[in-house]
Structure 1
Amino acid sequence: MTVEEALNSINKIQSLNKNTKYVNLFEAKGKILANDFYARCDAPIYTNSAMDGYALKNNEFKDGLKVIKTIFAGDLEDCEIKSGECVKIMTGAKIPTGANSVLMIEKSEIKDGKMFATCDELKENESVRKQGEEYKKGDCIIKKGVINDDIIMMLANNGVYSVDVIDDIKVGIFASGKELIEPFYSGYGVYNSNSYGIYSMLSDISNVSYLGILQDEYDYVLNSLKGAFLNFDLVVSIGAASVGDADYIKKALDELGFSPIFTKVKMKPAGPVSLYHKDNKYILVLPGNPMSAYVGALIYARKIIYKLQGLEYNKFSFKCKISNDLKISNGKENIVIGNIENDIFIPFNNGRINSGQIMPLYKCTHYIICPIECNFKAGDIVRVYEKSF
């Protein structure tokens, strides 16, 4: 199965028809807006100045004009200018009645108590932001979907502080491996880095809980999974994804009646990644090596969580040139991480990483998905994804 086929299989997941809840804007990022949003006010809310200057009639800008007052942003009382008059105005301040343009303060001078322009032209509506020119009250300005920084700004700009979002998916994370120890313990072993990184990765978009390290004992694994499925919509199991003697996850899932949605994607790293389901319960089984675990969660987890909330999700991507030749021939699609410099994708270590590494994740910001039998030439166009979740 290819990466694209695995992602397409996630589209078949049915929404859990979750309830909604209100959250404040400081907690809203990454959550799903429950309904389309209609503007509560015009934007701008009143006609205002785009810069510091003088509000005036543009057909009088070459005349010496009397400055009758100064208007600051937030001064909302009505003001009117007559022929031969202007007002000094600050950025964002309300344009007075009778004015139709703003002369930049840098293009003016005061002589003999009057304001004179030092330029040769001033167009009507220059440096004026018209009421409602961005959108009108009642316009549908935000569609149901993932809330990002821009949406939060628009909601706040409409006087919204609490917003209705689809309730969180409950996610439980297990680690697996006899060799693992927690980072707060001292002793000999492999520190359990995966659980903490993936917990952080999922925390903005779900109600995530860390459930500990599974013991390498079949009954323990079976009972732990059985208990987790009572309390969580999605379980993420890290490790025990291969076919080793102590990898009991698949055997336990078979006994619990779970069916595969996809297994063993032909990709590197994270090839052993699998997704199983039973009724409305799901488990994403990730490999235990740090690079593989992170990449598997990065590519699949967000799409699964949003699909469970009824939202189709495709990770943002863009195209650019690759910096150098890149040839990989291992019969798999390869996830190659790297960085963007001067609008060019530069593969980290020329695409050579191993699944046990973490440092390349820290050093890189983007990735590409190389086709099977990859043979890119320097300057070829590649599709690039942000590594950030």
Structure 2
Amino acid sequence: MIAEDVYSPIDVPEMDIAAMDGYAVNVEGLEKYGKLKVVGKSFPNTVELPPIEDDQAVYVTTGSPIPPGANAVIRIESARLDNGYVTSSLRPKPGQDIRPLGEDFRKGDLLIPKGSILTERHLGLLLRANVDEVEVVDLRSCVFSTGDELIPYYVSDSGKVRDSIGPIITSYLKRFGTVEYLGVVKDDPHELERVLINASLRCDLILSIGGSSVGERDFVKRVVSRLGDLVFEGVNTNVIKRCGVGKVNGKAFVSLPGQVVSTVTSFHEFGLHVLETLSGLKLRKVKEVELAQDLEVKHHMDSVYLIKLTNHGGTPLRWGVGLYSELVKADGYAIFKRGRKYGKGERFEVKLFI
């Protein structure tokens, strides 16, 4: 992820260039004389070209500089060369088949806004603009899941449950720098303490998945409270209520719930906030849409619903904290007030997935 606005130091193209093979001419001269004397050639590596008179033309190839005095290109298909003079079966208009200076972008134009994900397409843009270096977010994150019933996602064992949530979070975090997947930690406070201390020595951000509730074997928040500072350990909102945020040895820590919908929405609600603080970037995005259908919130607390965006607005998906099949349909989520009935067409805010 790019950590700074990137501006162009140059105009591209740096001069007027030919968009097609043909002859650079002055339109008024062509109309006046009918045929023009070819006085030179221009190629993409041509450095200097003398100006042409209105009764002259220069042969050009695609990407080559346009000589001063010319204001159009006769395409090779419509040109006829006879005894050093060129004529055209078509009459070009001023500017035809010329890429003017700065057509793509001008010096000082914003090329890539900060917060953008650097892609292969950006590489060509940066090289064309002669930008050799850009500042990127370079955070080191550590992720682990907890649970005696789990095994790492890369291990296959029919008697165990593979960690299917850890890879989701590690994939999100890769855009912010280096991610280390620490595997699965057993529900043992001493093992959790060891992993958390080691992670705090080499990571800027630590995220755990699971063990965030208040059950007998949910040790994560208790261990973090002992090692560092648990800023908060939950909110009064369904689905994301068990998320916690704190610090371990001064390093940012986020405790995510162990059910997949809860994990992903909690990451976006709280994890992105932490990442914004660490990176200095604005990462969370929202969109206001109309409700595509009636909705009644029957829960006893405010609730998170996954939302699918369509041309008709936002559609709440089937509610549940562990529904993988619903999560893949969703474009984001919304928080609705408890005990309320929402009518079709009512406007609400969708928090978009990154």
Q: Same fold (TM over 0.5)?
A: yes
Judge conservation of contact 1:368–1:382 (CA < 8 Å) in 2. Answer: no
* Equivalence for 2:27: 58
Q: How many residues are treated as equivalent by the alignment?
A: 344
- Worse-superposed segment, 172-181 or 211-220: 211-220
- Which amino acid letter does the alignment assign opposite residue 355 of structure 1? V
Please show how residues 1-40 of structure 1 align to structure 2 within 5 Å: 30-33=1-4, 39-40=8-9
Q: Aligned to 1:210, what secondary structure does the other structure show?
A: strand
Q: Distance in 2 between matches of 1:60 and 1:318?
A: 56
Question: 1:257 and 1:280, CA in 2 relative to 1: closer, same or farther beyond 3 A?
Answer: closer
Q: Aligned to 1:296, what secondary structure does the other structure show?
A: helix
- Which amino acid letter does the alignment assign opposite residue 59 of structure 1? E
Question: 1:89 and 1:160, CA in 2 relative to 1: closer, same or farther beyond 3 A?
Answer: same
* Equivalence for 1:336: 306
- Which amino acid letter does the alignment assign opposite residue 367 of structure 1? G
- Worse-superposed segment, 331-340 or 289-298: 331-340
* Distance apart, 1:382 and its partner CA: 4.6
* Distance apart, 1:75 and its partner CA: 4.8
Judge conservation of contact 1:61–1:122 (CA < 8 Å) in 2. Answer: no
Judge conservation of contact 1:65–1:86 (CA < 8 Å) in 2. Answer: no
* Equivalence for 1:250: 221
Q: Aligned to 2:235, what secondary structure does the other structure show?
A: coil
1:205 to 160, 171, 176: 176
* Equivalence for 1:312: 281
* Equivalence for 1:282: 252
Q: Distance in 2 between matches of 1:362 and 1:44?
A: 43
* Distance apart, 1:286 and its partner CA: 0.4
Q: Distance in 2 between matches of 1:185 and 1:131?
A: 56
- Which amino acid letter does the alignment assign opposite residue 320 of structure 2? N
Judge conservation of contact 2:196–2:248 (CA < 8 Å) in 1. Answer: no
Q: Distance in 1 between matches of 2:236 and 2:341?
A: 17
Judge conservation of contact 1:322–1:345 (CA < 8 Å) in 2. Answer: yes
2:209 to 238, 242, 263: 238
- Rg: which structure is higher? 2
Higher relative contact order (CA 8 A, sep 6+): 1
Q: Aligned to 1:337, what secondary structure does the other structure show?
A: strand
Q: Distance in 2 between matches of 1:67 and 1:384?
A: 65
Question: 1:205 and 1:80, CA in 2 relative to 1: closer, same or farther beyond 3 A?
Answer: same
Q: TM-score, normalised by structure 1?
A: 0.74
* Equivalence for 1:116: 88
* Equivalence for 2:166: 195
Moved over 6 A (4+): none
- Which amino acid letter does the alignment assign opposite residue 16 of structure 2? T
**Root mean square deviation, CA, Å:** 3.5
Q: Distance in 2 between matches of 1:52 and 1:379?
A: 56
Percent identity of paired positions between Structure 1 and Structure 2: 22
Q: Distance in 1 between matches of 2:327 and 2:46?
A: 51
* Equivalence for 2:71: 100
Question: 1:255 and 1:210, CA in 2 relative to 1: closer, same or farther beyond 3 A?
Answer: same
Q: Distance in 1 between matches of 2:250 and 2:133?
A: 29
1:264 to 234, 238, 242: 234
1:372 to 318, 337, 340: 337
* Distance apart, 1:275 and its partner CA: 0.8
